[in-house]
Structure 1
Amino acid sequence: MSDAHSEELLAQVAALPPLPGVYRYFDADGALLYVGKARNLKKRVSSYFTKNHGGTRIGHMVGKIVRLETTVVRSEAEALLLENNLIKSLNPKYNILFRDDKSYPFLKITGVAARDGTGDAPGQRFPRMAYYRGAIDKRHRYFGPYPSGWAVKETIQLLQKVFRLRTCEDTVFANRSRPCLLYQIKRCTGPCVGLISPEAYAVDVQNAEAMLRGETQELLKMLEERMLAHSERLEFEQAAELRNQITALSRVLHQQAIETASDKDVDILAVRVQGGRACVNLAMVRGGRHLGDRPYFPVHVDDATAVFAPEDGPEDGLEEMGATQAPPVEQQVLAAFIAQHYISVPIPPVLVASEPVDKALLEALSEQAGLRVTAVHQPREQRRAWLEMAQKNADIQLARLLAEEGSQQARTRALAEALQLDAEDLDHLTIECFDISHTAGESTQASCVVFHHHKMQSSEYRRFKIEGITGGDDYAAMRQVLTRRYRPVAEAQREAGGAEPAAGQARLPDLVLVDGGKGQVSMAREVFTELGLDLSRIVGVEKGEGRKVGLEELVFADGREKVYLGKDSAALMLVAQIRDEAHRFAITGMRAARAKVRVGGSRLEDIPGVGPKKRARLLQRFGGVRGVGEASVEDLATVDGISRELAEEIYRALR
C-alpha cells in the first residue's frame, strides 16, 4: 500500500511521536477524508500505511491520502474531544457525522439578585419566566435544555398554575396600571401593581426553582410546614394560600406523572440501524419529568463503520485484550453521537443507553463537564420503561426516514427516466433552478436553488441582485443571472479543452430549470449559445391552462417537443418541489431587499462616520429614518456625537 504514497508522506509518518493526538487525512484536492484519535500517533497512523487493506473501503480511503496533519495533545481524553470537535466542524467523508443546526431551548428566570427581592430593575425585584434560545448570560438562571419549544412552554404553564410567576416583558411590567388577564385567571400574583411584596414573590421564585430541580417531595413538605405554622399563629388567610398552592402542586404532579424517584436529570439514548441509515433517539428527563424526545440521523455511516476497524484493533496494542474486532455499528453510532452532541450541550450525570458506552469516553466527558457522568446499559424499573419508549420512537423515526428517502429517490429516478437523463448515478444527479421576483419592478432578485443527492442543498443556494435593467423585465433579469452563473462554467470548460473540468472548478449541472415557458427558455438558449454550453440541459416549467397546479408542461431549449408528465407523476412532483423552493427563496430575498430600501436602513449605514451608536441616537431623537431625512442640519447637529460637518454629510446623503 505504501508504494502508492509519496516519500515525503511516508517520511512524515515515520517521524511521528509515540504520543496521544489527533490525525487528519487529505486527498489530492485538499478535501478532508478522515479525522481520528490515537493514544500512540506513531503506531496508529503507521498501521494505515504498512498493512495491505486490499480492495476494502479502508484501502480505497488510504489510496486517496496525499497529505497528513497531526495535533499532539496531553491525554487520550483531550484527543477524543478534539477529534469530535473537528469532525463536527469539518465534515470529513469517512467519519460518522451528526448535524444539529437547531439550538436547544431553555427556561430562563431573570435576575441573579432577585432571590431576596432586592435590586432596582423589575427583573431583579420580580423575576420573570421566559422561553429562551441562545448564549447563556450569567445574570440569569437557566433550566434545561429541553428537547423542544413545546416542552418549555408546557413547563411555564405548569409553574404559572402553581406559583403564579409573571411572564410579561419588563417594558410591559413597568407600565401597567392594573393587573392583566393572567391575574384574573389566577396565573399571576400581580406584582406589576404591588399586589404581592418582593419578599413573598422571591419565595415563590425559590419554590419554582426547587420544582424545576426535581425537589418535589421536599417542596411539598416545606409548604405543609409553612401552612401549619401560619395556622398555629391564627394567620388563616396565609395558610389558605399555601393550602391552595399545595393542592395545585399535587394536582400538577399527578397530571404530569412526575417521578419521585432519585433520578432528576437523565438522558435516554436509543440507537437503531437499518438500510444503511441510523437513528439516535434522545429523550430527556429534567427535574424528574420526562420532557419528550428528538431524533438524530447521522451521515456517512457505511463509509465510517467500514474504516473504523483499525481504530481499536491490534495495531494499537490491544491484541492482548482481545479487542481485534470492531464494535457493532450501533455502538459506533452511539459513541459518535455522545462525543459530538455533548461538546456544546450540557450533559446530565446519568445516561441510559441501548448500547454499552466506552469508559474512556465517559471519563473525557466527565473531565470536560466537571461532574461524574455514568452510563447504564441494561436498566431496570423506571429507567427500563424510559429506554423501551425511546427504542420504540427510534424505530418509528427510522422507518419514516427510510420511507421518505425511498419516495424521494423514486421521484429522482422518475424524472431521470422522463427526461432520458443518465440514471446510473442518481445520487449525483444535480439540478439548478432559477426564478425571478420583484414588486412592480422594485428590488428585483434572482434565486438559484440546488438539488442533488435526492434533496435540496440549502447551503449551495445563491441570490443575485439584478441591476441595470428596466424594472419588471423578467427576460433581461433571466439573461443576467444565467450569464453571471454560467460564464465561469464556460471558462472552466474552455480551459479543460472540452473535457470535464477538474474537481473544485465550476461545473454545469445535469439539468437547468427555469420557471417560465417559451420566452424564458429562449432567453436561456441565447445565453447558453453565446457561452458555448450544452442546450439539452435547459428545461422550462410552463404553467398549464388556468395556471392550475399539476398541469405544468416541460419546455426544452434544444427543439424537443413539450412534455406533459401528468398531475400524479412522481417526476412532476419533484419538478414542482424544486420550482416552488426557487420561488420561495426568491420571494424572501426580494422582500428583505425591499424592506431595507423602504426603511432606509442601508442609507444611514452607508454614511461614513455614522456607526451603530450614532445611528441609534439619530433614530431615537427623530423617531425613524424618515424623521432623520426631514431634519435640518442644525437639528442633526444637536444630537450627541454628531458634529456640524457630519450633520451636513448626513443631510446631503438623505436628500
Structure 2
Amino acid sequence: MMENETAKPPKTGHEVIQGYLRTLDNSPGVYRMLDAQSRVLYVGKARALKRRVSNYAKPSGHSPRIARMIRDTASMMFLTTRTETEALLLEQNLIKQLKPKFNVLLRDDKSFPNILVSRTHAFPQIKKHRGAKKEKGEYFGPFASAGAVNRTLNQLQKVFLLRNCTDATFETRTRPCLLYQIKRCSGPCVGYISAEEYEASVRDAIRFLKGDSTELQAQLADAMAEASAAMEFERAAALRDRIRALTNVQSAQGINPRGVREADVIALHMEGGQACVQVFFIRANQNWGNRDFYPRVGADIDEPEVLEAFLGQFYDQKEPPRQIILSHPIENMDLMSDALSGKRGTKVELLVPQRGEKAELVDGARRNARESLARRMAEGQAQTKLLDGLAEAFDLDGAPKRIEVYDNSHIQGAHAVGAMIVAGPDGFVKSQYRKFNIKGDSLTPGDDFGMMKEVLTRRFQRLLKEDPDRETEAWPDLLLIDGGAGQISAVKEIMDDLGVEDVPFIGVAKGIDRDQGKEEFYRPGATAFALKRNDPVLYFVQRMRDEAHRFAIGAHRAKRSKAVSATPLDDVPGVGAGRKRALLAHFGSAKAVARANLSDLTAVDGISEGLAQKIYDFFHDHA
C-alpha cells in the first residue's frame, strides 16, 4: 500500500443489505445484522427471509431505531429453519445469548421457587425448592418469590403440621424440636404421630396445594364439631386453629380467581422509553405471587413487539401454563401459542380478555405495572443525580455506568474471601456480584494487601482475556476499594502490572476515630479528602461500601460454615451425602467411624463389604 493511501472503511447501510437479496429465497429462518466490528446489532425471525430482508434494503420509510440499525449494518448472517415456529424459538434463544443492541432484551431471568413435598422418606418433608426437579416428590409452583413460598410454607405448617427438617436431622433426634412445642410440627421424628396419620396430613396438604381447599375446610369443620360433641375439647381446639390457619393462607394470597385454575397473567406498561412487565402466577385457583420485570426497550418500539419478545425469552427455560392472559395482543398469537404448546407438550392458550374476571385480573396487573414503573423512574432520576454527583466529587470524566466495590473478609486469615459488588444507573446489580475464594498459599494470614492483589489480578486478567477491546459493559468505570493510602498504592501497582491505566479507583477509609460520616477518600498521587457529612454522595458511597461488606461477610460465613461441617468422610471415595449421613447417624461422629472395625462398618445400612474395606483402608492408611 502506498503512503498516501488509506484503508477505506467498510460499507454499511441499505446498499449492503441489498447485496444479500440475490442469495436468499423465501424460506423461514433467522437473520443477524452485524456492524463493522462484527458485533451483533439485531436478531430477527422471518416467515420468508427474502421478503423481510428486502424491507431493510429500502432507503427510507423506517422508524428512527430501524434507520439507525440499517445505517450501522455492515454484514448479515442467515439460518433457515423448517418452520416459522422453529425460527421464533431460535430467534429468542439467540437474543438471550447475544444480547443485541437493538432487540428487546429481558435482563432479569432468574428461576422461580417451588414447594416440594419430598418422597425420599417414610415421613415426607415439605420444603422450598429451586432449580432442576430431580428429587423424588410432588412439586407445586412456580411462586413469584422466596417470600411468597415462605409465607405459604409458614401457614401450611400451622395447618398440616408437616416437618421441614432434613432427613439427617430427623434420624438423629431423640426429643421433639421447638416447632413441635409451638404447634408447627406433629413430631414424627419421636413417634408422636403414626405413619398413617402423617400420610393423611400429607394428602390434605397436597389437596390444598392443588386447589381443593373448600372441601378440605368443610371436612375439618365436621371433624371439629364431632370432637366438640364428644367433649374432646383439646382436639377440637387444635382443629379450630388449623381452620383459622387455612383461612389465613387464602387471605394472604389476596385475589383467588374462581374461574382461572392455571394461568400466568402478563401485563405491560410503557412510558418514556421504558417498560415494566408484571407477571402474576395463578395456580390451583390461587394467587402465588407476582414479579415485575424491566426489559430493555427503545423509544419507538410498540407494545406487541415488546410483549412478544418478553414471552419468547421468559418461557425459554420455563414450562408455560395452560393459559397465558395478556394485556395486549401480539403480532403472532398463533405462532407463539404453537411454540409454547410444543414446549409444554399440551395446548397453551393465549388470550386478551375484554370483560369478566380475566379482564379484571389483567387490569390489576396493568395497574401494578404502571405503579412499579413510576417508582422505578423516580428512583432512576435520583440515582442519575447521585452518579453525576459522584463524578463531580471524584473528578471523573463522566457519570459511571458500572461501579465495582471490593472488600475482603477473614478471621486471622482463615477462610478468606474477596467480594465484588456492582452498582450503576439501576442501583445494585446483584446478578453481577462475585466472590473470590482466596487461593494464595504463600499469603501471610491477615495480609489484606496480598488478598486484594489476588482478587484484582484474577478479575482483570479475565477481563483482558475475554474482552480485550472493551466492547461489552463488563468493564468498570470506577473501582471503590475498602482501605486507605496503603491499599491504594497496592492497587496502583497491580493495575500498572496488568497494563490497565484508564480505570479510576478510589480508596474509602474510616476517618477520625473510625467514625461513620468522617470517611476519607484516597486517589493515587493526591492528598486525602472528605465530603460534607450531609452530602448525598457520601451516603451513596457508604451504602455501596456497606453492601460490599455485607456480601463479603456472608460469603465468608458460608465458607466457614462449610469448613466446620466438613469431615474426613468427605474425602473417602464412594461415600456420598447419603452414606455419610448413615455413617454419622450410626457411629455418632467421624472419629468413631475412623476407629470402627470392618464388621461394625458393614452393619451400617447401605455400606457393602467392599465399601467398608475402602473406608477402613482410608483411615488406617492415613493413620
Segment drifting more, 617-626 vs 565-574: 617-626
The residue aligned with 1:268 is 265
Establish whether residue 382 from structure 1 lines up as the match of residue 379 from structure 2: no
Secondary structure, in 3 states, of the residue corresponding to 1:285?
A: strand
Paired AA for residue 73 in structure 1: T
CA distance, structure 2, for counterparts of residue 627 and residue 197 of structure 1: 32
Establish whether residue 349 from structure 1 lines up as the match of residue 322 from structure 2: yes
The residue aligned with 1:393 is 368
Equivalent residues, number: 597
Give the deviation of 1:545 after TM superposition: 1.1
Secondary structure, in 3 states, of the residue corresponding to 1:564?
A: coil
Once the two structures are superposed, the pairs formed by residues 168-567 of structure 1 within 5 Å of their partners are 169-170=166-167, 193=191, 195=193, 198=196, 205-216=202-213, 252=246, 256=251, 261-299=258-296, 301-302=297-298, 306=301, 329-357=302-330, 358-423=333-398, 426=399, 428=401, 430-442=402-414, 444-453=416-425, 455-456=427-428, 459=432, 461=434, 463=436, 465-475=439-449, 477-478=451-452, 502-503=469-470, 510-525=477-492, 537-559=504-526, 561-567=527-533
Q: Give a deviation string over 1:155-176, Cα, whole Å, max 9, x none.
A: 4455556655555555566677
User: Are 1:331 and 1:355, in contact at CA under 8 Å, matched by a contact in 2?
Assistant: yes
Secondary structure, in 3 states, of the residue corresponding to 2:33?
A: strand
CA distance, structure 2, for counterparts of residue 35 and residue 557 of structure 1: 44
CA distance, structure 2, for counterparts of residue 389 and residue 25 of structure 1: 39
Give the deviation of 1:394 after TM superposition: 1.8
The residue aligned with 1:98 is 106
Give the deviation of 1:23 after TM superposition: 2.5
CA distance, structure 1, for counterparts of residue 534 and residue 235 of structure 2: 63
Give the deviation of 1:288 after TM superposition: 2.1
CA distance, structure 2, for counterparts of residue 436 and residue 375 of structure 1: 50
The residue aligned with 2:535 is 569
Distance 1:15-1:102 versus aligned 2 partners, 3 A rule:
same
Q: Give a deviation string over 1:51-75, Cα, whole Å, max 9, x none.
A: 4578933233234444544333332
User: Are 1:14 and 1:46, in contact at CA under 8 Å, matched by a contact in 2?
Assistant: no
The residue aligned with 2:6 is none
CA distance, structure 1, for counterparts of residue 257 and residue 465 of structure 2: 69
Secondary structure, in 3 states, of the residue corresponding to 1:45?
A: helix
- Which entry has the higher C-alpha Rg, 1 or 2? 1
Distance 1:383-1:203 versus aligned 2 partners, 3 A rule:
same
Give structure 1 stretches of 5+ with no counterpart.
112-120, 307-328, 493-499
CA distance, structure 1, for counterparts of residue 454 and residue 152 of structure 2: 53
Aligned match for 1:130, one of 118, 127, 132? 127
CA RMSD in angstroms comes to 5.2
CA distance, structure 2, for counterparts of residue 158 and residue 645 of structure 1: 44
Give the deviation of 1:612 after TM superposition: 5.5
Per the normalisation by structure 1, the TM-score is: 0.73
Give the deviation of 1:7 after TM superposition: 11
Secondary structure, in 3 states, of the residue corresponding to 1:34?
A: strand
Distance 1:644-1:196 versus aligned 2 partners, 3 A rule:
closer
Distance 1:604-1:502 versus aligned 2 partners, 3 A rule:
same
The residue aligned with 1:83 is 91
CA distance, structure 2, for counterparts of residue 593 and residue 194 of structure 1: 37
Paired AA for residue 53 in structure 2: V
User: Are 1:536 and 1:557, in contact at CA under 8 Å, matched by a contact in 2?
Assistant: no
The residue aligned with 1:141 is 138
Q: Give a deviation string over 1:339-362, Cα, whole Å, max 9, x none.
A: 222333333333333222433323
Secondary structure, in 3 states, of the residue corresponding to 1:263?
A: coil
Secondary structure, in 3 states, of the residue corresponding to 2:298?
A: helix
Paired AA for residue 332 in structure 1: E
User: Are 1:217 and 1:260, in contact at CA under 8 Å, matched by a contact in 2?
Assistant: no
Distance 1:225-1:81 versus aligned 2 partners, 3 A rule:
farther
Q: Give a deviation string over 1:369-423, Cα, whole Å, max 9, x none.
A: 2333334434434334433332332222212211222222111100111223223
Distance 1:95-1:629 versus aligned 2 partners, 3 A rule:
farther
CA distance, structure 2, for counterparts of residue 122 and residue 641 of structure 1: 24
Aligned match for 2:31, one of 10, 19, 23? 23
User: Are 2:594 and 2:616, in contact at CA under 8 Å, matched by a contact in 1?
Assistant: no
Give the deviation of 1:226 after TM superposition: 11
Distance 1:461-1:9 versus aligned 2 partners, 3 A rule:
farther
CA distance, structure 1, for counterparts of residue 459 and residue 169 of structure 2: 50
CA distance, structure 2, for counterparts of residue 475 and residue 163 of structure 1: 54
Q: Give a deviation string over 1:197-218, Cα, whole Å, max 9, x none.
A: 73x6655554544443334556
Secondary structure, in 3 states, of the residue corresponding to 1:563?
A: coil
User: Are 2:155 and 2:245, in contact at CA under 8 Å, matched by a contact in 1?
Assistant: no
Distance 1:419-1:440 versus aligned 2 partners, 3 A rule:
same
CA distance, structure 2, for counterparts of residue 71 and residue 555 of structure 1: 53
Once the two structures are superposed, the pairs formed by residues 35-54 of structure 1 within 5 Å of their partners are 35-52=43-60
User: Are 2:269 and 2:369, in contact at CA under 8 Å, matched by a contact in 1?
Assistant: yes
Distance 1:443-1:15 versus aligned 2 partners, 3 A rule:
same
The residue aligned with 2:68 is 60
Segment drifting more, 614-623 vs 536-545: 614-623
CA distance, structure 2, for counterparts of residue 99 and residue 338 of structure 1: 13
Give the deviation of 1:551 after TM superposition: 0.9
CA distance, structure 2, for counterparts of residue 237 and residue 404 of structure 1: 60
Q: Give a deviation string over 1:258-286, Cα, whole Å, max 9, x none.
A: 75833222332222112322111112232
Distance 1:223-1:584 versus aligned 2 partners, 3 A rule:
closer
CA distance, structure 2, for counterparts of residue 435 and residue 248 of structure 1: 48
User: Are 1:351 and 1:376, in contact at CA under 8 Å, matched by a contact in 2?
Assistant: yes
CA distance, structure 1, for counterparts of residue 463 and residue 180 of structure 2: 65
Give structure 2 stretches of 5+ with no counterpart.
1-9, 603-607
Paired AA for residue 320 in structure 2: I
User: Are 2:477 and 2:503, in contact at CA under 8 Å, matched by a contact in 1?
Assistant: no
User: Are 2:126 and 2:164, in contact at CA under 8 Å, matched by a contact in 1?
Assistant: yes
Segment drifting more, 410-419 vs 374-383: 374-383
Per the normalisation by structure 2, the TM-score is: 0.76
Segment drifting more, 595-604 vs 49-58: 595-604
Segment drifting more, 515-524 vs 200-209: 200-209
Identity of aligned residues (%): 34
User: Are 2:12 and 2:73, in contact at CA under 8 Å, matched by a contact in 1?
Assistant: no
The residue aligned with 1:325 is none
CA distance, structure 1, for counterparts of residue 221 and residue 503 of structure 2: 80
CA distance, structure 2, for counterparts of residue 89 and residue 507 of structure 1: 15
